[in-house]
Structure 1
Amino acid sequence: MTHQPRLNSLQDRHATLDRQLAAEGARPAPDTGTLAKLKLAKLRLKEEMEKLRASR
């Protein structure tokens, strides 16, 4: 079974989080709580992508 569709979905979500992080960081007074949540979500997606790549 191929994991490519799931991997593509995760990559899209990862890129979206990256854009959200950049937008929040560019604000005059970024919300540190929001930044932390976005970073954690991005890290979890990255870990899931790595697991999928390793299970090929």
Structure 2
Amino acid sequence: MNPIELEWKHLKKDELSGQMFDDELDLAYAVIDGIQARGEKGNYRTERFKFYSNQTA
């Protein structure tokens, strides 16, 4: 298992387990919060990247 997969596994187990989400946006915010919490616990910096698309919805 590569390091990203391992982090995702821990994020799901430690931060997201047992929660229900009304929609994808709620899930996205929970993932963001979980990553920040894991960074604080592990004493490492996290940074959020926004990817923009030229496509219109």
- With normalisation by structure 1, the TM-score equals 0.40
Structure with a larger share of its residues in helix: 1
